[in-house]
Structure 1
């Protein structure tokens, strides 16, 4: 699986581009703030054609570029997939942002932040298996960071790992699980209790040889996090 990751222009949000190979359709996961030019460059260099956008949750730093990446807000735009419990966040994620933070973004990028809701939104549900761009993507609902946070698991690995890799699958974890940490639960819609359940019931049952591509920071594996992540210690699946 061709897997390309690059950080957004703010908050170091990881944007992922996934495809069966060069010259094919691709999936774009979590297009954050200011990713449009870099994404266009990645697609041009690899002959990729975006087929859909997958959103791990509805926070602004993960969804800000979803509408332009989908091709605008017309009926012909590409579908944007998000869990139904976070669907409301796409109505206007700017409304929930601190005024000081918005001012900081305006100063950094030289223009006022604006928002247009994508027109083609598809609700994700627990246990769904999406078949898009030649890839099979399993959806696991893992609330806690937000009500509709999800993790995407694909039974393929980044091609750069090579055929000898001991890993078996790839999980795009959003802000549920990071290398050595987890997503915040103190923001609106977050829940520490829900996060604990998600870590216990969704994360821990995953195979140790699963590669984890998080919403922020470096990649890791389920096995490494099971052994070293303090937020997983003491939990039993």
Structure 2
């Protein structure tokens, strides 16, 4: 699988392009702020034809360019229904401080063609089989995408959005965030994955499930809480 990371101009958001190979159809994940020109360059360089945009969640740093990217090509955007309202009105996911960064106004439009993502479903796009894992906590509709390949070692690649980062996890203090739901997602959707799974997060460098299981303090705490009680003598 071909994977290219395209950094956005704000908030350090990672946009990803994935395809079976160069010169094929592709899928775009999380086109953030100021991404259009750099994304167009990557698509042209590798002769890729987008067929859809996949959104890990509805926050503006991951969705800002979804309308121009989709509109220029007549392709749909996919988002979990629980975050559809953020796609229509991203201000609902902002704190007051974040709204002030934009002067209280957001120069944003929603895409015309939006399709829902369901937990556990596998969708076929651009010759790829993409499995959707609903993992709420950062937002109510946060999802992760699992796709076979994309790394030197065999196994799946996990596009984790703002659920899991190298050494950290997504924040839960914004509107719609839920720490209990996040811990449940980490337990049920992250820690159940094989160690060899490559993690491509919404921010920061790539990592693996094995590395995070061993060193990520948040995952270690979840693991500790799940451990069976020590029996007395």
TM-score by length of 2: 0.91
Aligned residues: 221
Question: Given the alignment of the two structures, is residue 174 of structure 1 paired with residue 161 of structure 2, yes or no?
Answer: yes
Secondary structure of the residue aligned to 2:82 is: helix
In 2: Cα distance, 1:138 partner to 1:80 partner: 16
Shift of 1:182: 0.1
> Aligned pair in 2 of structure 1 residues 2, 216: CA closer, same or farther (>3 Å)?
same
In 2: Cα distance, 1:115 partner to 1:168 partner: 37
In 2: Cα distance, 1:99 partner to 1:7 partner: 22
Secondary structure of the residue aligned to 2:171 is: coil
Shift of 1:23: 1.0
Shift of 1:99: 3.5
Structure 2 residue aligned with 1:118: 111
Shift of 1:113: 4.3
Shift of 1:61: 0.1
Structure 2 residue aligned with 1:57: 57
In 2: Cα distance, 1:223 partner to 1:17 partner: 24
Shift of 1:86: 0.4
| Per-residue Cα deviation, 1:54-92 (whole angstroms, up to 9, x for no partner) | 0000000000000000025xxx82110000100111112
Residue pair 2:71, 2:112 contacting (<8 A) in 1 also: no
Question: Given the alignment of the two structures, is residue 205 of structure 1 paired with residue 198 of structure 2, yes or no?
Answer: no
Secondary structure of the residue aligned to 1:137 is: strand
Secondary structure of the residue aligned to 1:235 is: helix
Secondary structure of the residue aligned to 1:40 is: helix
Aligned positions of 1:122-161 closer than 5 A: 122-158=115-151, 161=152
In 1: Cα distance, 2:213 partner to 2:27 partner: 28
Secondary structure of the residue aligned to 2:150 is: coil
Structure 2 residue aligned with 1:48: 48
Shift of 1:116: 1.4
| Per-residue Cα deviation, 1:20-74 (whole angstroms, up to 9, x for no partner) | 11111110000000000001000111110110000000000000000000025xx
Residue pair 2:92, 2:175 contacting (<8 A) in 1 also: no
In 2: Cα distance, 1:95 partner to 1:153 partner: 28
Secondary structure of the residue aligned to 1:232 is: helix
TM-score by length of 1: 0.89
| Per-residue Cα deviation, 1:134-163 (whole angstroms, up to 9, x for no partner) | 0000000000000000010011124xx3xx
Residue pair 2:134, 2:142 contacting (<8 A) in 1 also: yes
Unaligned runs of 5+ in 2: 227-233
Unaligned runs of 5+ in 1: 105-111
